[in-house]
Chains A and B, each alone.
Chain A
Amino acid sequence: MTYLKKIERRIKEFPEMPAMCRTLLQSLEDPDVDFKQLEEQIQYDPGLTSNVLRLANSAYFGATGTVTSLRVALMRLGTRRVTEVVTAIMVSPMMLRSLSGYDLRSQNLLQHSVWVAVASEELAKLMGYRDVKMLFTAGLLHDMGKIILDPFVWEQRDSLLDDGLTQSFDEREREHFGMSHAQAGGALLTKWNIPEEITVTAKWHHDPESVTDYAEQVNMVHLADILGYSEGVGAGIDGMKYNVSPVAHKRLGLKKSDIEYVASVTLDKMNELESLLT
């Protein structure tokens, strides 16, 4: 069986997105959705409810004042933010295990993903992009494809790391397997049937110049990702072997000091969220 077939089968057999998450994400697309409906869906699960409250009270998501009920959380943070919080809580467990192909210890993938989610939002804030839809979630889920590709990366590790190779790691994946982790992630999220801005971002995050839809999300997640690798956050064998798109940062109009500022503010926020999600 070719690698491509094996990857497709792994995507097919991979667990579905937790039902609650999908319902919430889909209900966001419905302009008439109201707080009460969301509240009912979430409070049915007491563990989830208490986790939502913990995150709603974090410094990162934190509204002013203590949030003690789901209703207040929904009012203060808004339905979209609460959906992002619920998604983070439900998907994080999938990112905890170690990935030996990529040489990621347990929690490393989650740590990197949280870094990218936070750094993307910090970039957006700094550059004055308001209301980039689902940016946090798009950042958080951008590398789900690594979970799919990991066993194959393990098998082909020596060849993927050949010193003579000059291509970026995602190109090497494409050559070896017919699909990169970005494309595999895009395919998985498409199967999960979640909003397009999230799936498109995952699919194109190493190739932001080729995409016109949701360009802000893709550019910001791309730069946040490269910055995370550069700082060694959750970086495995592939860590430094990526290219940064010169177009992405030109489009955003970033300076060197902007990038460094974003790195400096992201670290502690990442640490806080990571500890709340594990």
Chain B
Amino acid sequence: MPYRIVDISDYKISKNSGDILVTYSLGSCVGVVIYDPVIRIGGMIHCMLPLSKVDRNKAEQRPAMFVDTGMQLMLNQLFESGVRKSRLKIAVAGGAHILNDDNLFKIGERNFTVLRKILWKNSMLMNVQDVGGSISRTIRLHVGSGRFTVKSQGTEVHYDLPQKD
């Protein structure tokens, strides 16, 4: 099956049932998967930083670098492709922190906080969250089946983004 790699500060949307979207090495970055199980369209984004105000120029060139601009972009595109909010399944992974996380490097926690706010404002619920800790994660979405996996330190956990609640 063809892997489609989502790089850091990038996102991809697919409606090819054979595709597997994958993003590697989520540390403090957050990876978000949004999936419509009825029309089987999925999107995956890998955001590095919480808010675009830290570097407006970069946010224009690479909106997916930031949680705020990136989520807005991916959601808009998903809605244009016909996904419905009422059917969406959402999986989130990453937001980890280095061992002795002090104030300076709380990027992971801030990424997750900003993400949660955006989802909450849009009345969207997270179906899967695998966040925090001091581990790095690799996530995959099988577009055809809605299977979502999180791999970390050699172990892989499977979730099925269900067809119905």
Asked if A230 contacts B103 (CB within 8 A), the reply is no
Does A260 contact B49, Cβ atoms closer than 8 Å? Answer: yes
Min CB distance B59 to A, Å, is: 8
A237, B50: Cα distance in complex, Å: 24
Contact B48 A264 (CB under 8 A): yes
Residues of A within 8 A of B107 (CB): 230-231, 259-260, 263
B136 within 8 A of A: yes
- With both chains docked as a complex, state the minimum distance between the C-beta of B9 and any C-beta of chain A, in angstroms: 6
Q: Which of B20-28, B37-45, B142-150 contacts A (4 or more CB under 8 A)?
A: B20-28
Say yes or no: is A110 at the interface (Cβ < 8 Å to chain B). Answer: no
B99 engages A241 (CB within 8 Å): yes
Assess whether B136 is in contact with A264, with CB atoms less than 8 Å apart. no
- Nearest residue in A to B96 (C-beta to C-beta)? A240
Q: Let me know if B135 is at the binding interface, CB within 8 A.
A: yes
Does B103 lie within 8 Å of A240, measured CB to CB?
Answer: no
Select from chain B the residue with minimum beta-carbon distance to A250: B104
In the complex, B80 has a CB within 8 A of chain A: no
Nearest residue, chain A, Cβ from B152:
A237
Whether A232 touches B26, Cβ cut-off 8 Å, given contacts A237-B153, A254-B104, A264-B58, is yes
Q: Taking the nearest CB of chain A, how far is it from the CB of B93, in angstroms?
A: 11
Complex Cα distance, B55 from A237, in Å, reads 30
What's the nearest-Cβ distance from chain B to residue A272, in Å?
13
| Contact, CB under 8 Å: A232 / B134 | no
* Most central of B29, B48, B65 by chain A CB within 10 Å: B48
Assess whether A244 is interfacial by the CB under 8 Å rule: yes
**A212 CB-CB contact with B under 8 Å:** no
Contact B55 A244 (CB under 8 A): no
Contacts of B134 in A (CB 8 A): 240-241
* Closest Cβ–Cβ distance, residue A40 to chain B (whole Å): 41
Which chain B residue has the least Cβ–Cβ distance from A108?
Answer: B25
> CB distance A240 to B99 under 8 Å?
yes
Within 82-117 of B, Cβ neighbours of A (below 8 Å) are at: 96-108
A249 CB contacts on chain B under 8 angstroms:
104
Beta-carbon nearest neighbor of A166 in chain B: B99
| Of B27, B102, B104, B153, the contact of A231 (CB 8 Å cutoff) | B27
**Chain A window 243-278, contacts with chain B (Cβ cutoff 8 Å), 1 for yes, 0 for no:** 110100100001011011101110110000000000
Known contacts A240-B27, A240-B135; is-contact A246 B102 (Cβ 8 Å): yes
Interface presence of A161 (CB below 8 A): yes
- Asked if A192 is at the interface (CB within 8 A of a chain B CB), the reply is no
Decide if B102 touches A261 in the complex (CB within 8 Å).
no
Could you write out 14 A-B pairs with CB less than 8 Å apart? A230-B27, A231-B8, A231-B27, A232-B25, A232-B136, A239-B25, A240-B27, A240-B97, A242-B98, A244-B102, A256-B106, A259-B107, A264-B48, A268-B61
Residues of A within 8 A of B (CB): 161, 166, 168, 226-227, 229-237, 239-244, 246, 249, 254, 256-257, 259-261, 263-265, 267-268
Q: 17 additional contacts, CB 8 Å, given A260-B107, A264-B48?
A: A161-B153, A230-B27, A230-B97, A231-B107, A235-B27, A240-B135, A244-B100, A244-B102, A249-B104, A254-B104, A260-B55, A261-B54, A261-B55, A264-B49, A264-B55, A264-B65, A267-B48
